[in-house]
Structure 1
Amino acid sequence: MAKKILLSLLPLLACLFVHAQKPDAAGLSRLKHDQDTLQSLSEEIFSGKGDDGRGSAIDQFIPILVRALKTKYSFRFPFDSLKTVSIQYPQDSAFRIFTWAWERENGFYRHFGAIQMNTPDGQLKLFPLFDASDYIINTDTITNNKSWYGCLYYNIVQRHYFNQEYYTLFGWDANNPRSQKKLIDMLTFKNGAPVFGGPFFSFAEDSTPQPVRNRFIIEYKKESTATLNYNKELDMIVYDHLISETNEPMKKFTYVSDMDYEGFKWQAGKWVHINKIFHDAIPMGKGAPAPQPLDQKKKSMTHPKSAEDYQSQEIPKKPVKKKQ
């Protein structure tokens, strides 16, 4: 009996062994060398002089990154010194996503990225991501890596349903001088290739039901902040309810948080909208709290923050007095 159990586990153990393989000494040396070059270039992309300087850094960055990833078992190398490049992994480590942004002199942004698959033999399987967000008129559509809705990913939540893995991607788009965006995109794989979007955002339980959406996006004032992320304690997606501070709902760049929250709960293979998470009403006669302004000097290209994050930094905790 024990022998049968051991034999049945051998394929799994072999798979785990292969996935635990690391680059050899020569490969590791090349990766470290390339990482140093990429680090310097990534800083130029983020804060270099002018579009020409930043564009030139991108033109150099991409082939060096691809060269580095071609190193056998490069998936095991973290590239953790690339502070302006977001690298996100799902729970099962089936792949990882690199994303980074180029801020143009006119205040608009273009995004770049790639999905590296975790292959059993350590060979490179890479899907480059081409930012088509400026040309996607209908954002509620299903796309692929060649027509990607570009952004910086800051979290991945994995769900399993009916023998299928679903990866919920949380992204931030600094967008333009007047507004920024956060979005939720669903990533699945069909015939081994990535598919972005799908009918996964349901509003069927709302008092006024809306059509299912393929992608969920919020847009808000550039100087404001908004939460959009998965909350482990609540086991759901939580995001700020937004209103126009000038009562002009058609102008998304006027939207700010009113300190109320909506969300999505995973049910039967979909994220189902919850209209109101907390039920503490604002007292009569009092307006919504003023949104926490965004300090542009503190912005992070890989870790976009919510109002709560900034407030926790601005308000230091009182030190605990030791008993004499």
Structure 2
Amino acid sequence: MHISRPSIVLLLAVSCLVGLSFPAEAQHLSPAVQQDLRQREDSLKGYSDSIVNAATPEVRFRSDSQFVRSLVRALKQPYSFYYPFDSLQTISHLYAPDSTFRIFTWQFKKDEFLYLQEGAIQMNQPDGSLKLFPLFDASMFTDKPDDSVRTRKNWIGAIYYRIIEKTWEGRNYYTLLGFDDYSETSNKKWMEVLTFNPAGEPQFGGPYFSFAGDSVHKKMQYRFNIEYKKEAATRFNYDPEMDMVVYDHLVPEGDQPQKKDTYVPDGDFEAFQWKDGHWLHIEKKLFTFKLKDGEAPTEGKILDDQGNIDETKLQESSDKNAKKKKNDKPAPAKKPGS
């Protein structure tokens, strides 16, 4: 499970830009606390960088432990909720649109085959005190992540880059879009609904993903993901103008549809639209999405105008991805604290 340094920095930079609308009540932070948090942020920046770039598992593990302890100490400062931690480029930190909480997520590289996602939800407390919910990734322990409600103790880990707030019958629903560096050959992108139970505890998932309008019947899902070839660039994001989550329709490059690490975009799209308390799936044949100029030229499609797979395009895409993988060289690892 591997994601390059430039890719993860870009992903998290986008997520942080989306989350920049942090509460206007930042004036609650006294000058002394702001100065203290700036100093703590310098240390956190070094630890977070080392989690991703350190050459050995021992150093990465130690940096991760130091980062977690240092982050908790920083968040204990009064009204720390309003401090944005903008320099932490390898840590996603998003504010909910209604400013009721923010969520930190990142990944820890155990070895070449395994990345673990980690995270924490910080609630916005009126008195400025700390209320924090650590998140524990249990995705490696389940074969069926799509049909269960989960707590913070058995969370399906992801690095979140978008929060979408919806309401239904007086209750708030926060849809999280996230990236999962799933395997050596494939990535996943997740769509997860976060709610808070009557006790105020976070709860992940539920019967929120409906395929009732599809031509082929599918049961309701509790969360949704796409899995695709490691090198493939995929769209999976919320379009505020359309008020939909839009994502690429994927097809296998070869004749083995069971191999998710061969799936790539074909130029068409699918979507989810919020309706009556759930996300209703819209199939590609029902989805009329017009790309803006320059977003994706039609000659790049893998399906021809009749809907048949263009083997030439498939081979060109495969050759291009193979060449890119060969030419891509990992950035040199930085020393801890650099």
TM range (shorter): 0.7 to 0.9
Shift of 1:53: 1.1
Pairwise CA RMSD: 2.2
Is residue 184–residue 217 contact of structure 1 (8 Å, CA) maintained in 2? yes
Q: 1:21 to 1:118 in 2, by over 3 A?
A: farther
Alignment map for 1:103-252 (pairs within 5 Å): 103-140=109-146, 141-190=148-197, 191-252=199-260
* 1:260 equivalent in structure 2: 268
Matched residues in 2 for 1:245 and 1:40: separation? Answer: 41
- Aligned mates of 2:66, 2:183 — CA distance in 1: 25
1:9-48 CA distance string (max 9 Å, x none): xxxxxxxx99555222322222111100000111101111
Greater Rg over alpha carbons, structure: 1
Measure, in 1, the Cα distance between the counterparts of 2:283 and 2:150: 27
Q: How many residues align?
A: 283
**Unaligned residue ranges in structure 1 (runs of 5+):** 1-16, 300-324
Contact 1:157 1:167 in 2 (8 A): yes
Unaligned ranges ≥5, structure 2: 1-22, 290-297, 332-338
Contact 1:70 1:123 in 2 (8 A): yes
Match of 1:90 in 2: 96
Q: Give a deviation string over 1:284-312, Cα, whole Å, max 9, x none.
A: 4771755584776799xxxxxxxxxxxxx
Structure with the larger RCO, 1 or 2 (CA within 8 Å, 6+ apart):
2
Report deviation, 1:214. Answer: 0.2
- How much does 1:129 deviate? 0.5
In structure 1, the partner of 2:52 is 46
Is the 2:61–2:110 contact (alpha carbons within 8 Å) kept by the matching residues of 1? Answer: no
Match of 1:282 among 304, 319, 328: 304
Q: Report the alpha carbon displacement of residue 169 of structure 1 after superposing the two structures with TM.
A: 0.2
How far apart in 2 are the matches of 1:136 and 1:74?
35
Cα distance per residue 1:78-100 (max 9 Å; x no partner): 00000000011121011000011
TM-score by length of 2: 0.79
CA drift of 1:253 comes to 1.0
- SS at structure 1 position matched to 2:111: coil
Aligned equivalents of 1:253, 1:286: Cα separation in 2: 18
- Could you give the per-residue CA deviations for residues 219-238 of structure 1, whole angstroms, max 9, x where no partner exists? 11111121111111221111
Matched, 1:81 2:81: no
2:5 is matched with none
Q: 2: distance between equivalents of 1:38 and 1:197? A: 31
Question: C-alpha distance in 1, partners of 2:124/2:329?
Answer: 36
Distance 2:272 2:51 in 1: 35
CA distance in 2, matches of 1:165, 1:41: 35
Does the aligned pair in 2 maintain the 1:187–1:196 contact within 8 Å? yes
SS of 2:57's equivalent in the other structure is helix
Q: Percent identity?
A: 43
Partner Cα distance (1:113, 1:286) in 2: 40
